[in-house]
Each structure stands twice: as structure tokens, then as C-alpha cells.
Amino acid sequence: MKREKEMSHRKLELLAPAGDMERLISAVRYGADAVYLAGKSFGMRAAPQNFGAQELNQAVGFCHENGVKV
């Protein structure tokens, strides 16, 4: 019963994948609370283009400017 009460007060968080800047912007604009992304040298998903070093900095900055966690 106590656990049930604790869980009812938690805010749900929408976490979205972002394989490139276009998808990142869409996720943020459509209400994601947080996004996950990867660089070209690391990441577990093979299909997405992923972010280069400069793009990664821009992506993180964009998210933080919009109150989105990375």
C-alpha cells in the first residue's frame, strides 16, 4: 500500500530517441522531457546517423535551452 501511494505522486517522463538533429528537434517540439542520443564513435544503435562532436555540443545546448534532459 505504501509503495502504491509513493508511485502515484511521481511525474511520468517522456524519453525519446534522437538519432540526428532533425529527430532531436522533433522530439523536443513534440514534448519530450528527455532524449537519448549517441555520437558517431559510441552508441548501441547501428542504424541512426548519430552526432559528430560539434553536433553533439549543439544538440545538448538545444536541449538544455528548452528544458529537456539529455
Predicted local distance difference test score (pLDDT) of residue 60: 96
* Of 27, 10, 9, nearest in space to 67 by CA: 27
* Of 55, 69, 54, nearest in space to 21 by CA: 55
**Integer Cα distance of 70 and 63 in angstroms:** 7
Q: Is residue 8 assigned to a domain?
A: no
> Does the pLDDT of residue 58 top 90, yes or no?
yes
Q: Which of 1-5, 18-22, 64-68 has the lowest mean pLDDT?
A: 1-5
**Integer Cα distance of 34 and 14 in angstroms:** 6
Q: Can you give the pTM of this predicted structure?
A: 0.76
pLDDT band at 44 (very low <50, low <70, confident <90, very high): low
Q: Is residue 57 assigned to a domain?
A: yes
pLDDT band at 4 (very low <50, low <70, confident <90, very high): low
Q: Roughly what angle, to the nearest 10 degrees, separates helices 53-65 and 21-29?
A: 10
Q: Is residue 51 assigned to a domain?
A: yes
Q: Is residue 2 assigned to a domain?
A: no
Q: How many structural domains does the chain have?
A: 1
Domain that holds residue 55: 15-65
Q: Is residue 7 assigned to a domain?
A: no
